A and B are shown apart, each in its own frame.
Chain A
Amino acid sequence: MSAQRINDSSRSLLSRLDWPLLSIFFTLLFIGWFNIYSSEYNENQKAIVDFGMSHGKQLMWIGISLSVGFVILMLDERLYHTLGYVFYVIMLLLVFVTIFAGKVVNGAQGWLQIGGFQLQSSEPMKVAAALALAKYLSNYGVDLSNRKDKFYAFGIIALPVILVLAQNDTGSALVFLALFMMLFREGLEPYFIVIPVWIGVLSIMVLVFDKIPVLIVLTGLGLIAYWLFRKLSYRALFLLIGLYLFSLTVIMLVDFGFNKILKDYQRDRIEVLIGKKVDMKGAGYNVHQSLIAIGSGGVLGKGFLKGTQTKFNFVPEQTTDFIFCTIGEEWGFVGSLIVILLYIGLMYRISIIAERQKFSFTRCYAYGVLSIIFIHFLINISMTLGLFPVIGIPLPYISYGGSAMLGFTILLFILLKLDAANQ
């Protein structure tokens, strides 16, 4: 279909790229780099580019990523469809190898030493999973209401989740679950998403308010719903009763689960988050320092290089997971707002791109890209704003980190290429 297009288009490829998306991408890169520079800036270290420091390395990684992105644009777009499963299997193997041969960084055994570089194997895995799932869903005849198809689709998501969990990297494992957004778009029944979210909400309520008040409120709500729906069909009533009983079970299990299943540090983080535990030196410290940094920014921020909280290592992981603190501190509410709007714009633009595709593969892949960016955005910023437990996960295109930068760039450039090829 498109061989001809590509042939006559190396001249006009640029014109067929989605420039709104690209401009947001470059803006985020730009903002990211300057904030990494600022996080590390101090009076003794004024060099603009120092390859011994994060901002220098990041510049190098941006260069590498853009080169790879360029190569992606040059390659035949059919490659990604054709080799979707192959990438997926290779990446699964890579992640698997990492479990045994990898290097432990921040408690997660997710890093492979390749020559002088360290690669976080879960980053390319994200791309491969999105491609493989998109390829599967776009197969002719695949229907998510079909149990077997559902099983395969869930399986494509579950394999990397399991392997990454085995690397002890909860954050990255959560990312793959975001691919349910793609499934949802392609027709998965909403309760596959609503019920886990409902469980999540209930759990948090139980943890925060204890089970008795939650039970009372839940029963009250159930009775009101019963009164409202009493004229409806028996089916609806059974559904209601089923939901109620299900909720009760969840509530009872949460206590058990919280105390027996979660690891100590996870329990700590959750307890701190919900305000049950004040621990300013341990898990609470990061969130507290992060909020101080952001909160001290005020409306307009302290100005570029003028931050005091993020610069002097009060906020941990300031160039990677907590980079948003630097933005909040130095650029204030206005700067943070702009960054949030840029992400929303990015995701909105991706959904527009997705919906204009003729081929379901590209559409599915676009939702994969969207879901992966969304989950990073959601978890990372929630964490820095104290809305979610601390989970080490980067902010796309902004956080320092070579693997992540490369992974997100590949993710986006494949979409750009697929989109350009389809126009």
Chain B
Amino acid sequence: MLNEQRSKVIRLVVFAIGFLFILRLFWVQIIDKNYKQFAEQNALRKETIIPARGLIYDRKGKLVVNNQTFYDVMVTPAKVKDLDTNAICQLLDVDKKDFMESYANAESYSRYRPSAVIRQISYEQYGSLQERLFEFKGFFVQAREARTYPKAIAAHVLGYLGEVSDNEIEKSEGYFKSGDYIGKSGLEHSYEKELRGTKGIKNVLVDVLNREQGRYMNGIYDIPAVAGKDLLTGLDLSLQEYGEKLLKGRKGSIVAIEPNTGEILAMVSMPSYDPGMLLGRKRSSNIGKLMIDPDKPMFNRAIQARYPPGSTLKPLMALFALKEHVIIPSTTYVCNGGYHLTATQTIRCHASGTFDLHGSIQMSCNTYYCNVFRLLIDNPRYRSAANGLDNFTAHLREFGLGGKLGIDIPNENHGIIPTVKLYNKSYGAGAWHSSTIISLGIGQAEMSFTPLQIANNAAILANKGFYIIPHFVRGFDRNGRREMLQWERHQVNIDSSAFRLVADAMEDVIEHGTATMAKVKGIQICGKTGTAQNPHGRDHSIFMAFAPKNAPKIAICVILENSGFGGTWAAPMGGLMIEKYLHDSITDKWQEKRILESDIDAIESIMDKSKGAEHSTHEKSKKQEVKVKEPAKEEETPDERPAD
């Protein structure tokens, strides 16, 4: 080969390499689409924008839950220069050791991405830090929204927020990411989806160290965040506050329902806690404290505790009996201090005399209802006690007892009603009779309801035969656009004339009966006292009522644990609540002062000692005297389990 020819070889090699490169470029840039996808993952960071959480309003439009801006001190460790640790700790009033620890955490998280070193500094600290921020390179303050409570009330109802768990992340189908906040209980939990709104996405260009480099395509692919919806609740903030004031330092609960709509006006459960305790920096330590508190402040008695209804069952018994035609209003029984089951067994009764239906409710006669219960169970129509009991419990279920009512906060407990199966197990099939289970007739033994259910019974009595599922939320509001919720209505298949008879009797309970303490000037209240037997200590007092009689606006249940007879303490509290709601003022200052200032426990202890004193023995009846075999009870006391 001539050397001159070799230049052609060299040119050929150059062209060949060029051609190879062009082929490769064609493949990489035009044919293969993978690299384009990789590129997108590489440089685009999708930042989530968390929208403002919806607020919660009461029925008068007052804020129950608000958002407030908090300030977190953030640090980008890579930008920190010549940090004067002492100065910043002094300025923000934090312990140097704590600061160093969280700074180290921030550093190990990322040197280039900011993370919070100090959470929720006060506005004042924010101000003073802002002035001196230039001294602390790499630090900045980030505003963040968090819940605040204008009044520290209704903790159980409102619930609280917490970081999402792995389980919740999985269930959310990609919505939640670790570190997000979610409603853990109460309304915050039930209406999580409405309250939280929809996260937005901001497409940010980042470099390999994840440093922000600007918007992607001027933000045309960004998705704006959608603000959460505000909750419009039926709560009455001032009634709630008043109820909490009445029960403060005691154990018990108050549930008040607007009977026409099923809206809950107030739900008090004591002991309670300040909902602000579960915000921000101190949340986790406070949750721990609340969990181990022997008073169980996180336990929502109003929907989780169960109590035998005691005599508050009597109006219902009367309705069942009228419905089943086993009595008529004028049916009369003579009571001479008790219902004599056998020669030696007596269900004692405080009342004595001859009572018709009206009188039996007014005076809360046990004898009368033992008779009524036997008539119901032994009704020849049903041919056996078992069938009779089934029919009886069917009526109870119609009143929303036994199951859950379906209130719009989580952890509602179901009520307990007796079942044929239970007695068959305890006594053997066919081996038990109405007399065996007679305690049921006066609302004791294998029967217990939540305060909410008893309040709902009051609402049914007020409505003369129907109830709407008790609930807090009427609807939502987003920027003035409202959407209202429809809540299911349940009709009870009993004539309204029967309800009218019962309401008349219940009015006389207040006027001349067992709950005269609940009397309020100018308001026709219909009520019924009760005493829930408590094998662990002094009985719980119960009061249920609705008012005004002719156009009821409020139905209520008050339960005060370990306070004995329902007329003494629970009834006047109910009266005060009703007056507070209907008149927004209290006329009987003496009664209010008595409720607020009495040491109920001490008074009742004295009463206990002077046995024979009327109140303490009034309905405290049969346990010692009825020597019937006690079936294994499923539940007897409120099962106290924290709501979370």
Contact = CB atoms under 8 A, between A and B. Distances in A.
Interface of A: 42-43, 181, 184-187, 190, 288-289, 291-299, 308-309, 311-314, 328, 332-333, 336-337, 340-341, 343-344, 347-348, 351, 354-355, 367, 370, 374, 377-378, 381-382, 385, 387
A186 B10 CA distance: 12
Given A308-B39, A354-B7, A385 B24 contact: yes
B39 A344 contact: no
B30 A298 contact: yes
- Which has the most chain B C-beta neighbours within 10 Å: A292, A293, A313? A292
A313 B208 contact: yes
Contact of B24 (A288, A347, A387): A387
B590 interface: no
B94 to A, nearest CB: 33
A333 B30 contact: yes
B29 interface: yes
A339 to B, nearest CB: 10
A155 B1 CA distance: 25
Interface residues of B, number: 40
B3 A314 contact: no
A351 B10 CA distance: 8
Contact of B29 (A42, A311, A336, A378): A336
A336 B25 contact: yes
Contact of B213 (A311, A328, A333): A311
15 contacts: A184-B9, A186-B3, A190-B1, A292-B42, A296-B40, A299-B29, A309-B39, A312-B213, A313-B208, A314-B42, A333-B25, A347-B14, A367-B10, A377-B17, A385-B25
Nearest to A294: B28
Contacts of A355: 4, 7
A341 B207 CA distance: 31
B7 A185 contact: yes
B382 interface: no
B36 to A, nearest CB: 5
B10 A293 contact: no
- Which has the most chain A C-beta neighbours within 10 Å: B1, B11, B32? B11
Contacts of B11: 348, 351
Contact of B21 (A291, A312, A340): A340
B30 A337 contact: no
Given A309-B42, A312-B206, A314-B207, A294 B10 contact: no
A386 to B, nearest CB: 8
Contacts of A354: 7
Contacts of A292: 35, 38-39, 42
A37 to B, nearest CB: 16
Contacts of B214: 42-43
B22 interface: yes
Contacts of B20: 387
Given A313-B208, A351-B7, A308 B43 contact: yes
The 8 closest A-B pairs by CB, nearest first: A295-B35, A312-B207, A296-B39, A308-B43, A344-B18, A333-B29, A43-B214, A292-B38
A371 to B, nearest CB: 8
A336 B18 CA distance: 11
Nearest to B42: A314
Contacts of B42: 289, 292, 308-309, 314
Contacts of A351: 7, 10-11, 14
Contacts of B34: 295
Given A328-B29, A337-B22, A385-B25, 13 more contacts: A43-B213, A185-B3, A187-B3, A292-B35, A296-B40, A298-B29, A312-B208, A312-B213, A313-B209, A328-B25, A340-B22, A344-B15, A344-B18
Nearest to A186: B3
B213 A295 contact: no
A309 B32 CA distance: 17
Given A328-B29, A378-B17, A314 B208 contact: yes
Contacts of A340: 18, 21-22, 25
B6 interface: yes
B8 to A, nearest CB: 9
Contact of B14 (A289, A344, A381): A344
Contact of A308 (B26, B30, B205): B205
Contacts of B14: 344, 347-348, 351, 370, 374
B10 A295 contact: no
Nearest to A302: B39
Contacts, number: 118
A213 B506 CA distance: 101
Contacts of A296: 35-36, 38-40
Contact of B6 (A185, A297, A343, A385): A185
Contacts of A367: 10
A391 to B, nearest CB: 16
- Which has the most chain A C-beta neighbours within 10 Å: B1, B25, B213? B25
A81 B32 CA distance: 50
Given A314-B207, A337-B22, A42 B213 contact: yes
Nearest to A181: B10
Contacts of B28: 291, 294-295, 328, 385
A370 B17 CA distance: 14
Interface string B297-312: 0000000000000000
Contacts of A185: 3, 6-7, 10
Contacts of B22: 337, 340
A352 B438 CA distance: 119
A59 B32 CA distance: 36
Nearest to A301: B29
Contacts of A309: 39, 42-43
B71 to A, nearest CB: 26
A291 B25 contact: no
B258 to A, nearest CB: 58
A374 B11 CA distance: 11
Contacts of A328: 25, 28-29
A289 B34 CA distance: 12
A337 B23 CA distance: 10
A416 B11 CA distance: 20
A201 to B, nearest CB: 14
A394 to B, nearest CB: 17
A189 B482 CA distance: 91
A176 B111 CA distance: 43
A332 B30 CA distance: 9
B10 A184 contact: yes
A244 to B, nearest CB: 25
Given A313-B207, A314-B208, A328-B29, A385 B39 contact: no
Contacts of B7: 185, 351, 354-355
Contacts of A343: 18
B17 to A, nearest CB: 6
A331 to B, nearest CB: 10
A184 B25 contact: no
Contacts of B39: 292-293, 295-296, 308-309
Contacts of B211: 312
Contacts of A298: 29-30, 36
Contacts of B15: 344
- Which has the most chain A C-beta neighbours within 10 Å: B29, B32, B208? B29
Interface string B323-345: 00000000000000000000000
Interface string B588-608: 000000000000000000000
A413 to B, nearest CB: 21
Contacts of A190: 1
Contacts of A181: 10
Contacts of B29: 294-295, 297-299, 328, 332-333, 336
